[in-house]
A and B are shown apart, each in its own frame.
Chain A
Amino acid sequence: MNVMASLAIVGGLFVLGSLGAVPGMGWVFGVVLPYVALVLFVGGLVHRVMSWANVPVPFRIPTTCGQQKSLPWLKHEQFENPHNALTAIGRMALEVLFFRSLLRNTKSKLVEGPRLVYATDLWLWLGAMAMHWSLLLILFRHLRLMTNPVPYCVTFLEDVDGFFEIGLPVIYATSVIFLVALAYLLLRRLVSPQLRYISLVGDYFPLFLLLGIGISGFWLRHLAKTDVVGVKELAMGLVSFRPTVPEGISFLFFGHLFLVSVLLAYLPFSKLTHLAGVFLSPTRNLANSNRRVRHVNPWDYPVKVHTYEEYEDELRDKMKAAGVPVEKE
């Protein structure tokens, strides 16, 4: 149900977006909605990040994944168990850029014996790395449509990305990797009974949305005859805040652009905020310097304790009889 609903929603959105090609609708789908989406994206994300940042971190509770810094002659694992801000940043960099924790992933299995075995399982790590990195590079490649002249780094990346020179126009490696990785991430959700069990519309919808964007983008770049000049004119107009809607842009492009707009608008209100949230996760971004540097809880308050005086008052006679020293004889 969750799967079909998500697919249907994305399909419907694409059809809706393609209406931008209908005369007179170009301004709505090509200018107004992208701007609205951008405002929702920026505003929503800022709001979301502030909503986290405004919540205090009362305790310092990093998850340590390696040897602590204690005795000088014991080898300290500085990035698995950072002891200061610098190494904590290093840990975060490994997490954000290389998905360090996913790289640890194992799959447990009960085999004959009975014996539990844990095999390294890097498929999820690979799929996630492939999807996220290719998405980043594809976004970067899109700068071609938003800059004039196109910076060298963008054309250089295109050359590298199209290194294999397959197809005409050249098929970019990232376009293929992106779609394959997304397909894998979707398939594992559908095939694994446990994953299917926990998956919500909010898990399938972004996958279908990204797939829709990826497929329509692939089509625009590699299969359809796209009016690149017109598209660039539209894009340049948007980024320079002097929007124009040239004639003759295809329904495919408007579908693509609308799905991107939906993604931008949806992102801050969904699980996709993990892209910002990962930086604020207190088990990862804090140094394990707990006993060395005091962490202050801003909302700390006094609590009712049982004082030593109360304790001794209740037990004084027994303490004296047993020869345990007391404060008041």
Chain B
Amino acid sequence: MATPTPDETGYYKQEDLLKLDYRPPATGWMDTPVDLRRGSFIYPGKAKNLKILDLPNPRDWAVTDDDWKLPEGWKETVLRGMAERLSKYRTFKVFMDICVRCGACADKCHFFIGGGDPKNMPVLRAELLRSVYRREFTALGKVFGKMAGGRELTIDVLKEWFYYFFQCTECRRCSVFCPYGIDTAEITMIGRELLGLLGIYVNWVIEPVANCFRFGNHLAIQPHGLMDTLEFMVDDIEEATGVRVEIPINKKGAEILFVIPSGDFVAAPGIYTCMAYMLLFHELGLDYTWSTYASDGGNFGLFTSHEMIKRLNAKIYADAKRLGVKWILGGECGHMWRVIHQYMDTVNGPADFLEVPKSPLTGTVFENARSTKMIHIMEFMADLIRHGKLKLDPSRNDHIRVTLHDSCNPARAMGLLEEPRYVLRNVCNHFYEMPENTIREQTFCCGGGAGLGTDENMEMRLRGGLPRGNAVKYVQEKYGVNQLAAMCAIDRATLITVCDYWAPGVQVTGVGELIANATVFTGEKRRTENLRLEPIPGMEEDEDSAEGDAADE
């Protein structure tokens, strides 16, 4: 067998990763150069992708090169960019000025907890930028320089920015604990924007962005490909349930436009959640449509720049208008919901051509989405279950002992905490919470969000995934938990690696998948297989079980 490379989990021994030394090095942080070792950084954005997006300085280069081929006058460009952002974002200005370095954020970051690198303490991550701010933009820093915590912007500082702003998943856990609400995600976003002015991007982010710009989704699925994928799913749905569902696509005049993260079209286990949506909407008789143009709610623009958020997200309202729908429903996704909830209406609104979302089945009007006109699938489902609109048999999920991973963005940028719990309790008889400091607003990131979920970044993913993985292992050992439900497409991709490594034996699932597996569908055949086409224990072919009469609660 070939020796594993730094891109593979086998390269990392648990005992090595767990040799954690939280004590900082002997040299001061301004004098400690960045260690660009394989497995802990992401490869640069390819020129072709930058060209598609009209971004500056497209070129081919490598992170380990001495010469990053920066444009002429790069330093002035960055400082001008900082000045511009200091005048446009109150967050940036205030966060640069008021940090007291109390250190409350230090051990709240999953990368610091799992790695011990002091520059992964959120406070120091921000100081990387703040030190330049002090030197160039404050009176004390201009006069006293290093004595006042200021430092000059050099190539080495720039490389440090690159390394650590792509070691932050913008999960905002630290901002929960900060007495001033300093939001490292905001610092990282602006730091990445500044790097972007010089054409410094990572390909794992900028290629999906280029794809999304051109084809409407990160994975460059073209319309006919999407049709194929959905048809394939329809066949699998029929095999599992005996129910044949329709594929409404680009359907004008539908009531609802349905948008999900594109990861759920192609990769397991997200595809099962996608199948679940189709099945449930068929059962409910929902008048909805997919859009090939708005075929991704996910938005890696969030990991690129504020401008890119707007450029990529415009398609959602645009296609809602073109198709003439009344309102928009969004699937399970993390960063997509940060964009939808906190940015969409501002950057792409007002959506005055849409109506306030109203469930056609329960009549519930979603006042909380009165302006944006888009609601989360868990809000929609919780309302349906509350009104008894789904016939549920949670015993079909009895072989599953599930825990819920709160995805960072729905938790800390929305507060969508109880909806998924209500749903899970109704579709699963065995639901267990992880320790309280690892869930809800204190939830830990998967370690691969904000565009860091690539294999070339494996060391950092495993380190960053330690707090989450360790909490999963705890409930696995204590309650026998064997599934981790995650309402996020990035989670469903990256937590598989995290669980396999830190809590082997725990599978990752979407919440939607569990709903569909517990739902008794009209005209279904006897259910012996779940949506993964795996046999359901206790429901085997030969058994004559009386199903369907279990409590709906």
B438 nearest in chain A by CB position: A118
Identify which of B91, B108, B418 contacts A282 (C-beta below 8 A).
B91
- Residues from chain A with Cβ under 8 Å of B13 in the complex: none
| Docked-complex contact B18 and A110, CB < 8 angstroms | yes
Chain A residues whose CB sits within 8 angstroms of the CB of B315 once the complex forms: 305-306, 308
Report the separation of the CA atoms of residues A167 and B414 in the bound assembly, to the nearest whole angstrom: 55
- List B353-397 residues whose CB lies under 8 Å from chain A: 364, 366-372, 374-375, 379, 382-383, 386
Among A52, A101, A107, A303, which residue has its beta carbon within 8 angstroms of that of B90? A52
Given A73-B386, A194-B22, A116:B341 Cβ within 8 A: no
The answer, among A59, A65, A198, for a CB contact under 8 Å with B123, is A198
Interface string of A88-108 (1 = CB under 8 A from B): 000000010001011011111
CB distance from A325 to the nearest CB of B (A): 5
Q: Which of A19-27, A152-160, A311-319 contacts B (4 or more CB under 8 A)?
A: A311-319
**B73-114: which have CB < 8 Å to A?**
86-91, 93-95, 97-104, 106-108, 113
Which of B178-186, B199-207, B257-265 is the contact stretch?
A: B178-186
Distance, CA A307 to CA B314, complexed state (A):
9
Residue of A nearest to B24 (CB): A197
CA distance in complex: A270, B139 (Å): 10
Q: Which residues of B contact A240 (CB under 8 A)?
A: none
Question: Residue A325 contacts which of B252, B372, B375 (CB distance < 8 angstroms)?
Answer: B252
| A284 within 8 Å of B (CB atoms) | yes
Contact among A61, A74, A281 with B182 in the assembled complex (CB-CB below 8 Å): A281
A141 at the interface (CB under 8 A from B): no
In A277-301, the 8 Å CB interface with B consists of 277-278, 280-284, 288, 290-297, 299-300
Interface residues of B in 309-365 (CB under 8 A from A): 310-311, 314-315, 318-319, 322, 340-343, 345-347, 349-350, 364
Decide if B244 is an interface residue (CB 8 Å cutoff). Answer: no
Which residues does chain B contribute within 8 Å of A323, judged by CB atoms? Answer: 227
Tell me the residues in window 414-463 of chain B with beta carbons closer than 8 Å to chain A beta carbons.
Answer: 414-419, 422, 435, 437-438, 440-442
Contact A271 B367 (CB under 8 A): no
Q: How far is the CB of B405 from chain A (nearest CB, A)?
A: 15
**B224 to A318, Cβ gap below 8 A?**
yes
A273 CB within 8 Å of chain B: yes
Question: Which residues of B lie under 8 Å from residue A68 when comparing CB positions?
Answer: 368, 414-417
Query: Is A60 interfacial (CB 8 A cutoff)?
Result: yes
Which of B38-46, B61-69, B275-283, B464-472 participates in binding chain A?
Answer: B464-472
Binds A, one of B169-177, B266-274, B513-521, B539-547: B169-177
Contact A294 B349 (CB under 8 A): yes
B179 close to A101 (CB less than 8 A): yes
Residues of B within 8 A of A124 (CB): 102-104
**Do B252 and A280 touch (CB < 8 A)?**
no
Do B91 and A297 touch across chains, with their CB atoms under 8 A apart? no
Interface residue B474 (Cβ < 8 Å from any Cβ of A): yes
Is there an interface contact between B94 and A280, defined as CB atoms closer than 8 Å? yes
- Indicate if the CB atoms of A66 and B181 lie closer than 8 Å: no
A227 at the interface (CB under 8 A from B): no
Q: Does B411 contact A (CB under 8 A)?
A: yes
Binds B, one of A75-83, A171-179, A242-250, A254-262: A75-83
Closest to B371 in A: A294
Q: Which residues of B have CB within 8 Å of A58?
A: 88-89, 306, 346
B121 to chain A, nearest CB (A): 7
Instruction: Report the minimum CB–CB distance from B123 to chain A (whole Å).
Output: 6
- Residues of chain A within 8 A of B213, CB atoms compared: 306
* Distance between A25 CB and nearest chain B CB, rounded to angstroms: 27
Interface centre among A74, A198, A315, A319, by most chain B C-beta atoms within 10 angstroms, is A198
Residue among B182, B292, B311, B350 having the largest count of chain A Cβ atoms under 10 Å: B292
Quick one: which of B98-138 are within 8 Å of A by CB? 98-104, 106-108, 113, 118, 121, 123-124, 127, 138
Q: Chain A residues near B318: list those with CB within 8 A.
A: 305, 307-308
Q: Looking at the complex, which of A200-208, A214-222, A228-236 is the stretch in contact with chain B?
A: A200-208
Please state if A203 and B419 are interface contacts (CB–CB under 8 Å). no
Contact: B139 with A269, CB < 8 Å? yes
Query: Which residues from A are CB-within-8-Å of B98?
Result: 271, 273-274, 277-278, 281
Complexed CA–CA distance, A11 and B411 (Å): 49
Enumerate chain A residues within 8 angstroms of B440, measured Cβ to Cβ: 66
Whether, in the assembled complex, B216 has its beta carbon less than 8 Å from a beta carbon of chain A, the answer is yes
**How long is the Cα–Cα vector from A279 to B437 in the complex, in angstroms?**
27
Interface hub of B123, B124, B127, B177 (most chain A Cβ within 10 A): B177
Q: Is the CB of B470 within 8 A of A198?
A: no
In the complex, whether B153 has a CB less than 8 A from a CB of chain A is no
Smallest CB separation, A116 vs chain B (Å):
5
What distance in Å separates the Cβ of B352 from its nearest Cβ neighbour in chain A?
A: 9
B147 touches A319 (CB 8 A): no
What mask results when residues 247 to 260 of chain B are scored 1 for a CB within 8 Å of chain A, else 0?
A: 00111100000000
Closest B residue to A185 by CB, please name it: B102
Query: By the criterion CB–CB under 8 Å, are B176 and A63 in contact?
Result: yes
Do B124 and A198 have beta carbons less than 8 Å apart?
yes
Give the contacting residue for A55; candidates B87, B118, B251; CB below 8 A. B87
Check if B179 sits within 8 Å of A102, measured CB to CB: yes
Q: Do A194 and B121 touch across chains, with their CB atoms under 8 A apart?
A: yes
Which residue of chain B is the closest to A325 with respect to CB atoms? B250
Residues on the B chain within 8 Å of A73, using CB: 386
**Chain A residues with Cβ under 8 A from B179's Cβ?**
95, 99, 101-102, 128, 278
**Chain B 14-26 interface mask (CB, 8 Å, partner A; 1/0):** 0000101011100
Is B222 interfacial (CB 8 A cutoff)?
A: yes
Select the residue from A195, A295, A311 with max chain B CB neighbours within 10 A: A311
Given contacts A55-B93, A192-B103, A291-B370, contact A71 B386 (CB under 8 A): yes
Do B224 and A281 have beta carbons less than 8 Å apart? no
Enumerate chain B residues within 8 angstroms of A51, measured Cβ to Cβ.
93
- Which residue of A has the minimal Cβ distance to B183? A283
> Closest CB-CB distance, A123 to chain B, in whole Å?
11
Cα A99 to Cα B104 with chains together (Å): 12
Candidates B20, B148, B307, B382; contact of A303 at CB < 8 Å: B307
- Determine whether B479 belongs to the interface, using a CB cutoff of 8 Å to chain A: no
Given A291-B374, A295-B346, decide whether A281 and B101 contact each other with a Cβ distance below 8 A. Answer: no
Interface assignment of A70: CB less than 8 Å from any CB of chain B: yes
- Whether a CB of chain B sits under 8 angstroms from the CB of A225 is no
Q: Cβ of B413 < 8 Å from any Cβ of A? A: yes
When the two chains form their complex, are residues A273 and B101 in contact, meaning their CB atoms are under 8 A apart?
A: no
Q: Which residues of A contact B370 (CB under 8 A)?
A: 291-293
Closest to B20 in A: A110
**Which among B54, B226, B416 is the interface contact of A304 at CB below 8 angstroms?**
B54
> Which of B94, B95, B227, B368 meets A69, CB within 8 Å?
B368
CA distance A60 to B180 in the complex (A): 16
Contact between chains at B100 and A274 (CB < 8 Å): yes
Asked whether A61 lies within 8 Å of B113 as measured between CB atoms, the reply is no
- A304: which B residues are within 8 A, CB to CB? 54, 311
A53-B127 Cα distance, complex, nearest whole Å: 23
Measured CB to CB, the nearest residue on chain B to A127 is B102
CA of A51 to CA of B96, assembled, Å? 12
**Are B422 and A74 in contact, CB atoms less than 8 angstroms apart?**
yes
CA distance A325 to B253 in the complex (A): 13
Q: Binary interface profile of B, 220-257, with partner A (CB < 8 Å = 1, else 0)?
A: 00111011100000000000000000000111100000
Q: State the CA gap A281–B179 with chains docked (Å).
A: 10
Residue pair B311, A305 in contact (C-beta under 8 Å): yes
Residue B412 interfacial (CB < 8 Å): yes
5 contacts between A and B (CB under 8 A): A71-B386, A99-B179, A108-B107, A202-B148, A292-B371
Q: A106-B177, A118-B437, A128-B102 are in contact. List 14 more A-B contacts (CB 8 A).
A: A51-B93, A52-B94, A61-B91, A63-B175, A64-B414, A65-B415, A68-B417, A198-B103, A202-B148, A277-B98, A280-B94, A292-B372, A303-B310, A311-B293
Complex A-B, nearest 4 residue pairs according to Cβ-Cβ distance, in ascending order = A68-B415, A322-B224, A277-B98, A118-B437
